[in-house]
Amino acid sequence: MARDDISRGAAESLRRLTGAARVARTFEILADQGALWVWGDEDETLFTEDGDRRTLLPVWPHATLARLESEGEVTGEYAIRVPVDEFLKEWLPQLAEDDAAIAIFPVEDQYAAVLPLAEFRSRMTAALRLN
pLDDT at position 128: 96
Closest-CA residue to 54 (of 98, 2, 100, 108): 100
**Distance of alpha carbon 117 from alpha carbon 102, whole angstroms:** 7
Q: What is the CATH number of the domain that holds 56?
A: 3.40.1350.90
pLDDT at position 72: 65
Is residue 1 domain-resident? Answer: no
What is the number of H-type helices and E-type strands within the chain?
Answer: 6, 6
Is residue 2 domain-resident? Answer: no
> Chain-wide mean pLDDT for the chain?
92
What is the extent of the structural domain holding 109?
A: 8-130
pLDDT of 1 above 70: no
- How many angstroms from the chain centroid is the CA of residue 120? 11
Is residue 20 domain-resident? Answer: yes
Contacts of 50 (CB under 8 A, 6+ apart): 56, 103, 114
Number of separate domains in the chain: 1
pLDDT at position 2: 46
pLDDT band at 57 (very low <50, low <70, confident <90, very high): very high
pLDDT of 15 above 90: yes
Could you tell me the pTM of the whole model? Answer: 0.91
Q: How many CA atoms lie within 13 A of 100 on its CB side?
A: 20
Is residue 70 domain-resident? Answer: yes
User: What sign for the dihedral angle of Cα 64, 115, 81, 28?
Assistant: negative
